[in-house]
Each structure stands twice: as C-alpha cells, then as structure tokens.
C-alpha cells in the first residue's frame, strides 16, 4: 500500500487573503512529512491555489465536477476545465452533494467516470445516515453506493480513491470509533478486491470529523489509508499535526 493520503476539503470557505496565509503556513510546515497530501479548494480559487502550490508536495484538488463533458450546463465545471488547472484529485458524491443537490449513485458514478477520463483521481464518497446505521443498513448502503461506481468504471476502478464518511459524523463533532471505521473500511476493501485484482492500489480514507485529537487512532487501523478532512484542514497547525500522524 502506498503512503497514507490526507486530503483537506475546504468546502465553501476561503478568500484570497485567507487562502494565501493558510497555504503558506501548511507548505512551510510540511518538511519531513512522508504522507501524500492534497487540498480541495472552491472552484474560484483553483488558479490561485495552482500558483501557490506549483512545485510543492501538496497536490491540488477540486470539490466537484460535472457529469457532462461540455455544453449548455450553466454553472457546471467540466473535468477538462479542472485539468487546465493541474487538478490531481476531485471529490465526487460528498454527502452534502447527495443531500442538498439530490445527486444519485448513478450521477456520482458518471462524475467519477468524467474525472478518470481527464486523468484526475476521483475521491468517491460513500456513507450512511444515522437512521440507516440505527437500522443496521450501514453495509448495504455503502456497498450500494460503491457498486454503482464499480459498475460504470469497472475497467479502471483501481484508479479511484474511496472515502468513507458516515453522514452522521459530518460537521457534527461526532466521529466513528476506530473500530466502527475499520469495520466499514474492511467491507469496502473486500468489495474492491472482488471487483479488481489491483484493489491494493485503492486508498480508502476516513472522513467524518477527523481532527488532530483522533487522527492517530483512526489512522492506526489496518484498512484506514488516510483522511478526508473538513474543518480541521482550515487550521494550518491542526492539518500539519494530522499530516505528521499520517507520516508515522
């Protein structure tokens, strides 16, 4: 397995001034870190981030991509457009996109397909709601969500990244226990192994209120290959602490 992958998801946060300060601090503190790292920034800041990250070990990511190649889709951003800004990763199917924008499993699979076709690694998010967990449906939900992506992208499924993000732990301060995270990650790993002989290439990240205090315990689990980090990625010191934990 490759080095752990830590991805900051800034969500709808940032400004030209704040971005420059944050990235400057992160880049200054990355010396000696052996994990892979990226930040997924809002689309208007891709050009700024591209310039600031050029030649650094911190990769650039986007937070969404259109399921369409091009055309009359006002407000959409295509994979080819993201590639123009040297985007390496792109989040698809984040729970907030599924919940607030009605994205289906099929839509998420199509977005992953567009990213892969442009040479961008999709970070495919899967996860259950609290009601689904309480009903004992966690495994069925995440397997259904990932199955749609495998069905559409089976020939190159080993080129994706998967992020398990329990919806009940997104921005709530609640976090899956290391044991809960490991269990779901193992389920996803088995599903990938059944789909491709190269499943060991796929990093499975945990995303759900991971922070500096709990990162080390989560990352110590055998099937947790990194993190998709929200609010903590907006604080340079906290993000760097997590990168250090992932570099052990």
132 catalytic residue (yes or no): no
Tokens of 107: 């839509």
Looking at the DSSP bridge assignments, the partners of residue 5 are 36, 226
Phi, psi of 14 (to 5 degrees): 125, 165
How far, in whole angstroms, is CA 33 from its chain's centroid?
19
DSSP 155: G
The pairing of beta strand 5-9 with beta strand 226-229: parallel
Catalytic residue selected from 103, 128, 165, 185: 165
Catalytic residue among 68, 94, 179, 198: 94
**Active-site residue 185, yes or no?**
no
Biggest CA-to-CA distance, the chain: 48
Three-state DSSP class for residue 62: strand
Asked whether the beta carbons of 209 and 174 are under 8 A apart, the reply is: yes
Q: Mind telling me the catalytic residues?
A: 94, 165
């Amino acid at each position: 397995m490759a080095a752990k992958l830590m991805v900051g998801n800034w969500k709808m946060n940032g400004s030209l001034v704040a971005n420059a300060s944050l990235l400057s601090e992160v880049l200054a503190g990355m010396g000696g870190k052996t994990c892979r790292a990226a930040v997924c920034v809002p689309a208007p800041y891709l050009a700024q981030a591209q310039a600031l990250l050029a030649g650094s070990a911190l990769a650039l990511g986007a937070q969404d991509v259109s399921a369409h190649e091009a055309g009359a889709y006002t407000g959409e951003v295509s994979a080819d457009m993201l590639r123009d800004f040297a985007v390496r990763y792109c989040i698809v199917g984040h729970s907030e996109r599924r919940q607030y924008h009605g994205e289906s499993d099929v839509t998420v699979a199509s977005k992953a397909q567009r990213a892969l076709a442009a040479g961008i690694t999709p970070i495919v998010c899967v996860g259950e709601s609290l009601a689904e967990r309480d009903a004992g449906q966690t495994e069925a939900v995440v397997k259904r969500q990932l199955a749609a992506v495998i069905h559409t992208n089976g020939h190159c499924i080993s080129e994706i990244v998967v992020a398990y993000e329990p919806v009940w732990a997104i921005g709530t301060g609640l976090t899956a226990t290391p044991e809960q995270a490991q269990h779901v990650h193992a389920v996803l790993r088995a599903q990938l192994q059944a789909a491709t002989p190269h499943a060991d290439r796929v990093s499975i990240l945990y995303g759900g209120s991971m922070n500096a205090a709990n990162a080390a315990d989560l990352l110590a689990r055998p099937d947790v290959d990194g993190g998709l980090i929200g609010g903590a990625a907006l604080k340079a010191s906290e993000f760097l602490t997590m990168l250090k934990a992932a570099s052990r």
